[in-house]
Chains A and B, each alone.
Chain A
Amino acid sequence: MHKIRFIAQKELYHILRDFRSLIIIFVMPIMMTFLYGYAINMDIEHIPLAVVDRDQTEDSRAFIERFYASNYFFPPGEQANFFDPQHLLRGGHAAAVLIIRPGFSEALRGGRPYELGLQIDGSEVSQAGAVVAYANALLSQFLRDKMLAPGAIMPGVTISQQVMYNPDLQSSHFFVPGIVAVILLMISALLTSITIAREKETGTMEQLLTAPVTPAQILIGKLIPYIIIAFLDGLLVLAFAKVLFAVPFVGSFWLLIALEMIYVATALSIGILISTLVPTQQLAMQFALLITMLPSIMLSGFIFAVKNMPIPLQVVSKIVPATYFLDIVRGIMLKGSGIEILAPQAGSLLILMVIFLTIAVRRFNTRIG
């Protein structure tokens, strides 16, 4: 135990005195939150919206006029095909198609239930969320204006939205928690990936290996300061994301930070594992970025819902820690989920951590060269 403390303390000195680590720790996460956050939430106005008007009444034309009069939508250059409204979506010429079936005008007057169709290109995720929100807002505004007398019953017109290509989409708030998961994974793995390689490069490994310390003591000693640092980093990213992107926070703050601690420890273990396998710091950093960035963005559910992936990729997503932390952050921040719901995710992260560390200890080479 004493030995682990000395290793942890020494590692902390390295971190605090290494300009590069400090940049990774403090500048990178803020920069990445900023970039990712804005790239995803960028300028959601002037959305190309195609309309198929099968009602062909004054009301339907007035309704369409509302859409195009707003800043949000404009008509695409090409007219929507009456029989195949989706072809504009497929070609990327329109972000959404509004379909007004016959009966719209009657519904407005007669108050019969009626559904407008809205097909949305789900591959432009944040834009798709905005389309839904804007369309609903414009509709309710239109309906209010159409109410003939105060106290009259609001016509039962609703929008039946159909998100194409990405049915799981809920809202753009979905993304910011995802950013937190991806950034924490990358930063954490990056931080620890160089720790063993650095000892190999400076030659200090030779002296460590002739000292009475076990691989487990070395690796755990190195892990401890990083858990604290990555944990603080997580708080920083969360706070930054929350303030900058005004993401709701419904659930328990304490539960989130407890699980965040487990998550960063798991992510750091990946870095430790890489570190034991790779001879140089340069290679370690590249490797860490490669194996954390793509899987955590592509396979974790950050952009594409896991349950829509082919089975082999779903299996891979199970060893990507971000998959579990996405559920955790989204669950706690957006849905207010408690530990009774998130226990499987927390458990999975712990199991992954133990697996990564066990392999690292086993693979730790007590020989040089």
Chain B
Amino acid sequence: MSYLSVTSLSKSYGKITALSDFSLTVNKGEIFALVGPDGAGKTTLIRLLCRLISEDAGEVTVGGLDIKRDFEQIKSLLGYMPQVFSLYPDLSVEENLTFYAGIYGLTGQAYRQKRDYLFEFSKLGPFAGRRASALSGGMKQKLALSCALIHDPKILILDEPTTGVDPLSRRQFWEILLELRRQGTTILVSTPYMDEVARADRACFIFNGRKLSEGTPVALAAQFEGSIYYLDELPTTELVHRLNSLEGITARRFGAGMHIYVKPGESIERYHAALSSVGVAGTRLLTIQPQLEDRFIQLMEMVS
């Protein structure tokens, strides 16, 4: 059942098209990941959904309510966490929470219960009196999330919440998101990290303001066209360059090794001779399953 529905949304800034004819459906209770490089249009889309900017064309509904007509009602359903840290740095952790609770109309005993719950959840309790400016990156994001959650939103919209956050904090942050989903919250989250996309229920690739593909992480990766092999050899610039100079072969750094791509319908055996000419034994290539990143890069190259 769809909770957030975006139809043919477009937005340009002068001659630059930030988002073009973009449609999307996020189902109730799922984590939907929006993935794309910087400047792809993720933030534009999210700001349009939060009505921080006005669309040129298109429709958005949240919980069946039209965003243009019923935004005041939607506000209480919506929790938003902007990309830049947007809490008051000169206020303490608890003062920030009290403020956001207050403007959502949550006071007294109800507030204190919610606060205690969020403190337990985010482990920020011991830092309640600390100024937000003195928090670490991960703690800031957890505080921002807590503030976005203070009014029990039905849908949470997060713009790159884990960018610039250390790996451990990222993992903790996603534990919280998964817990929220278990409780029935619908979550739309943008991220540049493929490992995070893999934890989402569904995802869409966005590039140059357009949707390239949409589906479950497994299905998205499986859309990869061709075969992929892993070469466990240090990806020096020279080696990558030499491999890419071979006809029909594409090589790309991947962690400490390389991914070697060949076109659909071809097998790597055809290229053994060519590979050994650049000093790589074909038998060292291991067949692997395509990953999200492989497919995404392939899609980006197809459109550009």
Q: Indicate if the CB atoms of A211 and B90 lie closer than 8 Å.
A: no
9-residue interface stretch from A10-18, A45-53, A117-125, A148-156: A10-18
Give per-residue flags for B98-110: 1 if the beta carbon is below 8 A from chain A beta carbons, else 0: 1110111101000
Determine if B84 is an interface residue (Cβ-Cβ < 8 Å). yes
Once the chains are docked, how many angstroms separate the CA of A13 from the CA of B91?
A: 7
* Bound-state Cα–Cα, A367 to B71, Å: 13
CB <8 Å contact, A207 and B86: yes
Q: For B75, B80, B102, B148, which residue has the most chain A Cβ atoms within 10 angstroms?
A: B102
CB of B268 within 8 Å of the partner chain: no
**B82, B87, B89 interface centre (most CB from chain A within 10 Å):** B82
A307 CB-CB contact with B under 8 Å: no
B50 near A211 (CB under 8 angstroms)?
Answer: no
At the interface, yes or no: A106 with Cβ under 8 Å from chain B?
Answer: no
Q: Could you say which residues of chain B place their CB within 8 Å of the CB of A7?
A: 99, 102-103
Complexed CA–CA distance, A206 and B103 (Å):
14
Scoring B residues 54 to 88 as 1 if CB is less than 8 Å from chain A, else 0, what string do you get? Answer: 10000000000000000010011010101011111
Q: Is the CB of A209 within 8 A of B52?
A: yes
Contact with A along B17-41 (1 / 0, CB 8 A): 0000000000000000000000000
Whether A312 sits at the interface, judged by CB under 8 Å, is no
Q: Encode A194-233 as 1/0 by CB contact (under 8 A) with B.
A: 0000000011111111111100000000000000000000
A368 CB contacts on chain B under 8 angstroms: 47, 52-53
Is the pair B88, A210 in contact by a Cβ cutoff of 8 Å? no
Majority DSSP secondary structure for residues of A touching B: helix
B72 near A2 with CB under 8 A, answer no
Pair B102/A367 contact, Cβ less than 8 Å: no
* Contact A13/B75 with A2-B107, A203-B84, A212-B105 known, Cβ cut-off 8 Å: no
Closest to A14 in B: B90
CB within 8 Å of B: which of A1-28? 2-3, 5-7, 9-10, 13-14, 17-18
Instruction: List, in ascending order, chain A residues with CB within 8 A of B107's CB.
Output: 2
A213→B103 contact, CB < 8 A: yes
State whether B85 touches A212 (Cβ < 8 A). Answer: no
Contact check, A212 vs B103: say whether CB atoms are below 8 A apart. yes
Q: Tell me whether A310 is interfacial, beta carbon within 8 Å.
A: no
Known: A7-B103, A10-B99, A13-B95. Is A18-B52 also a contact (CB below 8 A)? no
A369 at the B interface (CB under 8 A): yes
Which residues from chain B contact A203 at a C-beta distance below 8 Å? 82, 84-86
Q: Which residue of B lies closest to A210 (CB)?
A: B80
B82 touches A212 (CB 8 A): no
- Of B52, B76, B148, the contact of A212 (CB 8 Å cutoff): B76
**A213-B99 Cα distance, complex, nearest whole Å:** 12
Residue B118 is within 8 A (CB to CB) of chain A in the complex: no
Name the one of A207, A210, A212 contacting B51, with C-beta atoms under 8 angstroms. Answer: A210
Could you list 21 A-B pairs, sorted by A, with CB under 8 Å?
A3-B102, A6-B98, A7-B99, A7-B102, A14-B88, A202-B86, A203-B82, A203-B85, A204-B87, A204-B88, A206-B52, A206-B82, A207-B148, A208-B103, A209-B50, A210-B51, A210-B75, A212-B72, A212-B75, A212-B104, A368-B47
